[in-house]
Amino acid sequence: MSTQTPVQDWTALGSRQIAVNGIELRVVEHGEGPLVVFCHGFPELGFSWRHQVFAFAEAGFRTLTPDMRGYGGSSRPDRIQDYAMATLCGDLVGLLDAVGAQDAIFVGHDWGASVVWQTALRHPDRVRAVAGLSVPVAPRPKAPPISIFRSRLGENFYMCWFQEPGVADAALAADVRRTLLRDEVVSAGDMTGGSANPQPPQWLSEAELQYYVDAFTETGFTGGLNYYRNLDRDWELSADLAGAKITAPAYFIAGADDAVLRFTPLAKMDAVLTDLRGTLLLDGAGHWIQQERADEVSTALIDFAHSVPGN
């Protein structure tokens, strides 16, 4: 077992820039065997999957873990439309092409979950299996998502607050540490309020927190916010996916206390997934599930991956 810290173990893996879909992604590669691609959410980095990357390598898998478009060491295009869902899915397909892989198991958390679900819908031949954490898949809504959120949850709901370019960007960057240590997020106030000197939870060391702080101090949050700013555009451009099904083997994990589950119910997953192999809700856990309950998440995901034909 390593005597180094998780940060030292992660940085020791190194990374490389891979050209995909007109940009570059910074990617950490580790292990040998069937391919697994890990996709992070907001505001995170490939580093968020550090525990799973090592566990999967030990279990006989090859992992690719990018900083997603707009984050960390990857390209951060200026235009909002450059973060459309079809483009994000294209990044993942381009990553497979770049490493000469026909397909992979895709695992995503938060926005990464949304992207891997959509990749399975849009590019089924490239997705051997798919697992989402914290954000369940749902059928295409009957109206633009932001209009639904505004009517049901109000203008102060955080996804609505994110829509105006520059506003949330500045507020979140004003105190990067506090932004990254927010716990339950439902309103704009949740994103900016709280203690002036918050302490990390027990599952996140000061060194791990500083890794995130350093990255977001350098990049800001605009890249990640632009994912949200495409929600209505993505809806408009996805009429052809209404009623579409994901036929790949699928799995879902969330913390039972995750606030996201209040407005993205699990019950709708069955309308999209034809081969849902399991749903794991971890009692007492919140949104940052793959870090907060790393061992349980890794074990469940590895068991799922082993159940996929060909692995």
Mean pLDDT in order along the chain per 10 residues (311 residues):
79 97 98 98 97 98 98 98 98 98 98 98 98 96 94 92 95 93 69 71 96 98 98 96 96 95 89 97 96 98 94 76
Residue 1 confidence (pLDDT): 46
Integer Cα distance of 75 and 90 in angstroms? 14
Residue 234 confidence (pLDDT): 97
**Residues 28 and 14 sit within 8 Å (Cβ to Cβ):** yes
Please write the tens of the pLDDT for every residue from 53-72.
999 999 999 999 999 999 99
Residue 263 confidence (pLDDT): 85
Give the catalytic positions in this structure. Answer: 110, 287
Closest by CA position to 77, among listed 23, 131, 154, 40: 23
Closest by CA position to 238, among listed 82, 118, 70: 118
Residue 197 confidence (pLDDT): 75
**φ, ψ for residue 221, nearest 5 deg:** -115, 0
Residue 291 confidence (pLDDT): 97
The residue with tokens 């994103």 is 191
Residue 28 confidence (pLDDT): 98
Which tokens in the block code for residue 233? 């555009």
Q: How many residues are present in the chain?
A: 311
**Residues 178 and 211 sit within 8 Å (Cβ to Cβ):** no
Residue 21 confidence (pLDDT): 97
